[in-house]
Structure 1
Amino acid sequence: MTMPIGPSFIALQVRDLAKSAAFYKDVFGFTAADRNPPGAVVFITRPIALALREPLRPLPENVPLGTGMVLWVACDDADAFHNLIVERGGKVLSPPSDGPFGRFFVAGDPDGYTITFHTAQS
């Protein structure tokens, strides 16, 4: 029987690719791959690649994107990473706290996507 294996690629459609890519690099600290497909920026993340891309069709105006979607990204230390994002001018939506998956906080991007950063479990 054929069945899904699991996520293998995540792409967020953004309103302004250059602005969003700069934010993800400068504030969140992601590193872009050396080569990217047209209309997209792929970041070097593991185990699944994360990309920003131009929209495939018009996006809704004046509403945050990603409503209802939860994206968790592991980091070495949620508290230290929270402080770094604040220093870089990032928008923190929920301060560091403890949850079922360990220490985490929630930050927002220019398009309204929310990213939950959590301390990676070993």
Structure 2
Amino acid sequence: MMSNNNDQRIDYVEFNVKDIQRSRDFYGKAFGWTFTDYGPQYCEFNDGRLSGGFAAGPARSGGGPFVILYADDLPATVKRVEEAGGTIVRPIYGFPGGRRFHFADPDGYELAVYTEDGSKE
């Protein structure tokens, strides 16, 4: 059996969302993601490095993996998240090796954005 560089790595992240267009608008505006529609019930996103999808259905509440994004400039990213309709649930704080903040998207999913020490604050 041949192995490739993606063996044993996260390949895709999927979110159940109430409104696919609202999720496209939010993540496109806040993070510049691109999208491919696969009918009215599914939309794939790509952030330039990782792909995932928005599946129409009831949003999950709590639990599951915690998705963390990266940004060079946290304050500018906070502003973009808020302007796109997200809610900051934990303002920027330091941790060993960097700084981050947490936000809730329009469906209530909590995600974080981090930067390494030495990046723009």
TM-score range, shorter chain: 0.7 to 0.9
The answer to whether the 8 A contact 1:66-1:113 is kept is: yes
- From the superposition, tell whether residues 65 and 20 of structure 1 become closer, same or farther in structure 2 (CA, over 3 Å): farther
Which residue of structure 2 aligns with residue 97 of structure 1?
93
Question: 1:113 maps to what in 2?
Answer: 109
CA RMSD of superposed structures (Å): 2.8
Runs of 4 or more consecutive aligned structure 1 residues displaced over 4 Å after TM superposition: none
Structure 1 gaps, min length 5? none
CA distance in 1 between partners of 2:93 and 2:64 (Å): 21
Kindly state the Cα deviation for residue 107 of structure 1 after the two structures are TM-superposed. 0.7
Q: CA deviation at 1:97?
A: 1.0
Match for residue 21 of structure 1? 24
**Number of paired residues?**
113
Which stretch has the larger CA shift, 109-118 or 83-92?
A: 83-92
1:8 aligns with 2:11: yes
2:69 matched to 1:73? yes
Query: Deviation at 1:117?
Result: 0.8
Distance in 2 (CA, whole Å) between partners of 1:49 and 1:120 is 23
TM-score (ref. length: structure 1): 0.73
Deviation sequence 1:22-59 (CA, Å, 0-9, x none): 22223x233223x332322222214321321223xxx3
Unpaired runs of at least 5, structure 2: none
